[in-house]
Copies of this chain bind each other. A is one copy, B any other.
Amino acid sequence: MDLKIFSASSHPEFAEAICRHLNLSLGHAHSQVFSNDNRFVTINEPVRGADVFIVQTSSAPVDSNLVELLMYIRTLRDASAGRITAVLPYFPYVRSDKKDQPRVCIAARLTADLLQTAGADRVLTMDLHSPQIQGFFSIPCDHLLASPTIIKYLKAHWNLENYVLVAGDAGAAKMLKIYADALELPVAIMDKRREGNNEKPTIKGVIGDVHGKKVLLIDDEASSGRTLMRDVEFLLEKAEAVSADACIVHAVLGDEAVTALNTSAINRFVITNTLPTNTKPLKNKEVVDVSQLFAECIRRIHANESIKSLNDVA
């Protein structure tokens, strides 16, 4: 089976970086939108029997990117691709993983179902909001973690003396522990009341001690940046931390968010390139490249090698 990698529209530079690491050319395909706003996808090279990976991240417009991915997958299936792996560096609707209130849907499960209906044989993704989401799939789902790469980066480029790692809420606390254990730093957790899915929870305090400390907030995703800024404000003003930095795996940040964050008290931002944020004018951003990790994972999936070690903290 030949290995072929295609890129949908959302993040071509990431797909190209993967190809570069693997010494491959990106597959030829074309995606356009007609005047009735209907998309049309063509694969412009044979894929019969090939081991195809199609790369699409969930940047805005989210639904359009999702449907485009479904069309790529279906097109590949009907073109007799041998195996189709959907590569989603940032997974769509990943935060909608439970029923916080009655009569809502678990959109991440819906998304998983749609990918399978379209014809995906496998999924490869990074830092799902909760690890339970792997259980939403009936097909193998390889789940990469950004933490080993970020931890390696922090160890190499940061002086972490006097730092406390801070989780924005109890849900983020579990993820924080991997960093805390590897970096041997204490942790604290914001104590909030968040109801339903509204975006303005009340901060009640901080569980753990940050007084006189440098805080590094770690989360899997930031979009509006508002939560982050409110936490930082509280940590510096009420909890008497001395400085604040942030580490965000999936930097969804729109233009408005970038503008706001650039005026915030946060000094440094560590983000990954699972989303096309490289060109965003976010001040002091430090981008950790995970494309090599995806490339190596794709190589191993193709070669039937174990990917176990890729998530090990060095």
Contact = CB atoms under 8 A, between A and B. Distances in A.
Report the copy number of this chain in the oligomer: 6
Interface in A38-72: 38-44, 46-50, 59-64, 66-68, 70-71
A281 interface: no
Interface residues of A, number: 99
Given A135-B132, A207-B207, A306-B102, A36 B75 contact: no
Contact of A37 (B61, B100, B106, B199): B61
A289 interface: no
A173 B173 CA distance: 9
Interface string A176-220: 110001000001110101000101000000011000000000000
Contact of A74 (B105, B118, B143, B173): B105
The 9 A-B residue pairs with the shortest CB-CB distance, nearest first, are A49-B304, A132-B132, A170-B173, A35-B224, A36-B223, A98-B131, A37-B60, A46-B306, A63-B67
Contacts of A170: 167, 170, 173-174, 176-177, 189
A62 B305 CA distance: 35
A62 to B, nearest CB: 4
A131 B34 CA distance: 21
Contacts of A70: 110, 114
A34 B252 CA distance: 11
A130 interface: yes
Nearest to A196: B42
A48 B221 contact: no
Contact of A257 (B35, B49, B224, B226): B35
Contacts of A60: 36-37
A36 B92 CA distance: 10
B38 A92 contact: yes
A40 B221 CA distance: 17
